[in-house]
Structures are given as structure tokens and as C-alpha cells.
Structure 1
Amino acid sequence: MNYAQLLLPDFSLILFGYLLCRYTPLNRSIWQPVESLVYYLLFPVLLFQSIVKSPIDVGAASSLMAAGLLSGVAGIALAYSLPHWPWLGSHLERRDHAASAQVAFRFNSFIGLAIAERLAGAQGLLMIAVLIGVCVPLFNVAAVWPMARHGGQGFVRELLRNPLIIATASGLVANLLGFRIPGWMEPTVSRISASSLALGLMAAGAGMQFGLLGRSRLLTVSVLSIRHLIQPLIAWGMAHWFQLDAVQTTVLLAFSALPTASTCYVLAARMGYNGPYVAGLVTLSTVLGVASLPFALGFLR
């Protein structure tokens, strides 16, 4: 599989948004409302649709879910612990860490869905949907917590108002209750979902300022190393520990090596943090995914 070709459309959209914002009249005043539209409407619709699309057999997928959750918890713990590491912690700016810690464990579900279907067909698509369904709520809670705490904002209030958490939690409940989107609504919902990917990536590109990455090189290297090197190694260990079958192992390794979520930037910007810095991390993570996916699916598998 040509992983570079698979990631190219997403990176191209980020670059396109950057060029539009910098060199055309479509400047930041245009893209800020777009960010809000993606964050509060378009992307929640995509999350809900992805989760309810395929029935989840909790019993058959329990080992995969446990491996995915434990791998994610390990990544979250590593990301949170960075300020407490000897020598490294004293060189990290705490607000930048609060905003960028999420980059180390969140994932691009759009790319994940595409890869899983190509790797294992309908079975792979169902497995990645299970991982998305159980991991997104946890990862979003973990992403919001340090920013809400550091910014002096009410943590519970931020969670209850977070549209991504609302969408994933309601999608899980709907799936377990057997709800499916009616056929006559699917085309409209699918078009809304598709637009969230394009607009979200372009909005991330529009907010990029690559120069800001230079002031936090240690933080940049740390969170991206967790995302693209340590997370696949942890997932490899979990696959052996839980004795996953070949298809489950393949899906888990792909899941662990995905680029970070494009909405990391949107979340950081909406909560008043350094959005352009996080957008740069998202871009670098997308590029590094070209290496981490072959590493996980080729070398580790």
C-alpha cells in the first residue's frame, strides 16, 4: 500500500488553506467563522455518523477495545508527564504543553477509516469504528482537562459543552440501542460529514505559523515522538499481551500510528490557547504519518 499517496490529500488541503489565507483575500477573518462551523456542527455530525454506521459487538471486540484503551491511556500518561521529566520539564512552557499534549494521543479518524477499509475490508472498518467509538470520548476528555485546569476554566462545564464529546457519547448510546440513520437522511448526513474533513483541514492550514514551532522544539519533538514512535510500540506490546488475531493486530497498529487529529488545532484555538502552534504540530504529524504507518504496519507487524 502506498501510504504517502493515502496521506497526500489531507496534507494538500492543509497546505491549500495556508496558501489561501496568506496570499488571497480569504484571510483570517474568513476562516475564523469556518473553524466554529466545523467545531460545533460539521465534525460532530461526522463522529456520530461514523459510530452509528456499523453495529458494535461488544463481546467479540472486547480484547481489541481493551488493547486500544490501554494503549491510549499509556499515551495520555506519557503526554501529561512531560513537565515532570528531569531536565525536560524546566524547558517547557506550561500553556503550550497544555494545548499540545493532545497531539501525542489523539488521532485522525478520517485517515484511520480509509486505511482500515483498504487493509481489511468491511471487517477492518467495523474494528476501527469500535476503536473510534470507545477511544474518542476518553481522548477528548484528556485533551480538554489540562487546558481547562491551566486556564482556570470549569472542567465539568467545558466537558458538558464540548460538542465532540457530546457527539461521540450520543453515538455510542445510539449504536448500542440499535439506532441507525434512516436511509433518506444518509445522503445529507454524508455530505455534511465529508465537508467537515475538507473545511477542518483547510482551517488548520489557514491558522498555521511555522515560525512558532522554533520556540518550543523540545515540546514538539516530545509530543510527536510519543505519537509516532512510542504509541506504535505500546500497541505492538498490547497486541501480544491480549493475543489479538492478525486482523485485530493490523487494525490496532494502524490506529496507533495515525497522524494526530486535525481538530487539535480547533480545540486549542476555541479554548484560547496557541492555536497556530498546535496547527503546526498537526501538519508535522501528518507528514510523519507517512513514516509511522509503514513502521507500524511493515516493521512491527
Structure 2
Amino acid sequence: MSDILLLLPEFLLIVCGFVLCRYTALNRGVWDAVERLVYYLLFPVLLFNSIVRSPLEFQTTLPLAGAGLGIVAVGIASAYALRHLPGVDPPLHASGAQVAFRFNSYVALALADKLAGPAGVTWTALLVALAVPLCNFGAVYPLARHGGHGFWREIVRNPLIVATVGGLIANLLGLRLVDPLASTLQRIGQAALPLGLMAVGAGLKLGGLWAGPGLAAGLLGIRHLLLPVVALALVHLLGVPVAQQAVVVAFAAMPTASSAYVLAVRMGGNGGYVAGLVTVSTLLGMVSIPLWVAVLRWVQG
């Protein structure tokens, strides 16, 4: 499939969600419930099931893991650094910082098979398993600090962190789910990607960005420009196998997590601002992922 068409099915699902929310009886109230269902049940089940079912051979994927963690670490450090620039509003930064380093796991898992086949799904599951806890630590800390929430209390209640840690523990212990439980969880998880992408489309809106356009440009610049460049450097510096490099670069170029809006609202942040950032990041991601994958292939020769 041509690079430019990589994300067309996912983009069409996002458009579908936008149209349904704006022009049918399936209005915002319906999609608020869908977002909560995906965030608290469907996606955690998908994440847990993907990690449990995937053979995570850490010894043979250390460069891949190092590149993924390096990308997220650079994103967090860069996003936090923006807080010290003149004119940046601290509460607004606390809400939006997560956009610079969090990633849309729905898109990542949907794209993995197209980039590298079944092995790509396994590699992406490893990246998600390692990156989700770090990303959520980075996202919750500034919101907890400015909103008066308990940091560790929010961490242990985060469904994505709970699912990831649970999946990793089960995988490392060699535990495997038996039917019919395994089949049931697989079916629940399969609903996460289409509903999650449609919920992203339903939540698209731009108005809140006017609260801090300069900060928005900085955060989105980190997400869609700096991190892909860092990924291109890391895959070569760490010796990531050629077959895995496209997965790493696409991971770095992902649009931000749609659940960033849910987290910001739940912790008393500026939901409208984060919704605007998620909207622009989603649209940029549809272009930036094929672009950066093409750049990688050009570099590879």
C-alpha cells in the first residue's frame, strides 16, 4: 500500500465519527459515553490482551525498547521545558503538556500490521507496554500538581497503567488466558479501535486553542517534528533492525492520545484547550506519519 494511503481507513473512521456527532441524532452526549467506555474498559482490555498474547522477547528487542523510551523521554523533557518560556500560562501548560509526548495507541496498533505484518503488532505492543506508564506518569504529574490531586492516587487509578502493568506481569509469569475468557476479551478489545477512532472524530474542535496559540505551536512542534527526527537518529544510533525501524518512526510521528482530553477534564484541566490540540494533532498525524515513513525509506536507500 502506498505510504499516502497508510492511514486512509483510520482517517475515514475519524471522519465518520465527526459526521455522526455533528449531523445525526448520535450527538455529543452519546459520544461522551462512548469515550468513557473506550477509555475505562475497551482499550484497557485491548492493551492487556495484546501484551499477554505477544511474546515479549526483551533480549532481542532491546534497541527497539530503548528507542521507544528515548523518544518518550525527549518528549516529556521538551514539553516540561516549555513551561519556563516567557508568557506561558502554568495551568494551561499543565493541561496541554501531555499532548507533546502521548500517542494514539488506536492508530499505532491499527497501523502496525500494515507496516511490518504480524511482527509489527508484537513490536508495537512492546512499545505501548513500555511507553504507556511513562507517558501517563508524565501527563498526570503536572495536572496533579496544579489541580491539587494526589499524584500516586491518580497513577494507581489510571486504567491504562493498570492494564499495562497487569499485562506485563502476566506475560512475564507465562500466564495465558483460556477459552472462553480469552475469546471474550479479544472480542471486547476488537471494539476499541473503531469506536476509539470514531470517538476521536466526534471530539474534534478547534476553538479552545486561542487560549494559548504559542504554547500550542510548541507542543505540536515537539509531537510532529522533533520526536520523528529523534526517532530517525535513535534507530541508527541504537542499531534498531531495519525491519523494526518503520514501526519506531511511525510511533514517534503518531497523533497525540485522544484520551488526553478525558484526563484533562477528569483532573480539572482546560478541556477545551486540550480538545483543540488533539484535533490539530490528529489532522497533522494523518500527513506526518506517511511523510516520516517516506523520509525513513529515503534514508535507508
How far did residue 3 of structure 1 move?
Answer: 4.2
Find the aligned partners of 1:188 and 1:78 in 2 and give their Cα distance.
41
Q: Which residue of 2 aligns with 1:54?
A: 54
Aligned length: 297
Long gaps (5+) in structure 1: none
1:177 aligns with 2:173: yes
1:244-259 correspondence runs (5 A): 244-259=240-255
Give the equivalent residue in structure 1 for 2:64.
Answer: 64
Tell me what 1:84 maps to. Answer: 84
- The TM-score, its normalising length taken from structure 2, stands at 0.90
Match of 1:202 in 2: 198
Matched residues in 1 for 2:173 and 2:40: separation? 25
Displacement of 1:4 after TM fit? Answer: 4.4
- Secondary structure of the 1:107 match is coil
Contact 2:45 2:188 in 1 (8 A): yes
Q: Which amino acid is 1:271 matched to? A: M
Q: Percent of counterpart pairs with the same letter?
A: 52
Partner of 1:281: 277
* TM-score between both structures, scaled by the size of structure 1: 0.90
Larger deviation, residues 24-33 vs 253-262 = 24-33
Q: Which moved more, 1:182-191 or 1:138-147?
A: 182-191
Alpha carbons of 1:284 and 1:47: their partners in 2 closer, same or farther (altered >3 Å)?
Answer: same
1:274, distance to aligned residue in structure 2 (A): 2.5
Structure 1 residue 272 corresponds to structure 2 residue 271: no
In structure 2, distance between residues paired with 1:123 and 1:164: 23
Query: In 2 relative to 1, CA 184–7 (structure 1 residues): closer, same or farther, beyond 3 Å?
Result: same
Q: Residues 6 and 276 (structure 1 numbering): CA distance in 2 closer, same or farther, change over 3 Å?
A: farther
C-alpha distance in 2, partners of 1:180/1:31?
34
Shift of 1:259: 1.6
RMSD: 2.1
State the SS of the aligned residue for 1:164: helix
Shift of 1:176: 1.1
CA contact (8 A) 2:3 2:293 kept: no
Equivalent residue of 2:268, what SS?
A: coil
Q: 1:99 aligns with which of 88, 95, 98?
A: 95
Q: Which AA in structure 2 matches 1:115?
A: L
Q: Deviations over 1:198-224 (max 9, x none)?
A: 333333444443222233221221111
Change in Cα spacing, 1:121 to 1:26, as seen in structure 2 (3 Å) is closer
Aligned partners of 2:241 and 2:198: how far apart in 1? 38
**CA contact 1:51–1:172 (8 Å) conserved in 2:** yes
* Unpaired segments ≥5 residues, structure 2: none
Q: CA deviation at 1:257?
A: 1.2
* C-alpha distance 276-296 of structure 1, shift in aligned 2 (>3 A): same
Cross-structure match for 1:117: 113
User: In structure 1, what is the Cα distance between the partners aligned to 2:192 and 2:206?
Assistant: 24
Amino acid at match of 1:31: W
Residue 183 of structure 1 and its aligned partner are, at CA, apart by 3.9
> Within 5 Å, which residues of 2 pair with 1:129-148?
129-148=125-144
Is the Cα contact below 8 Å between 1:109 and 1:261 reproduced in 2? Answer: yes
Task: Say whether the 8 Å CA contact 2:7–2:111 is kept in structure 1.
Answer: no
**Contact 1:205/1:279 (<8 A) preserved:** no
Any conservation in 1 of the 2:11–2:286 contact (CA below 8 Å)? no
CA contact (8 A) 2:250 2:293 kept: yes
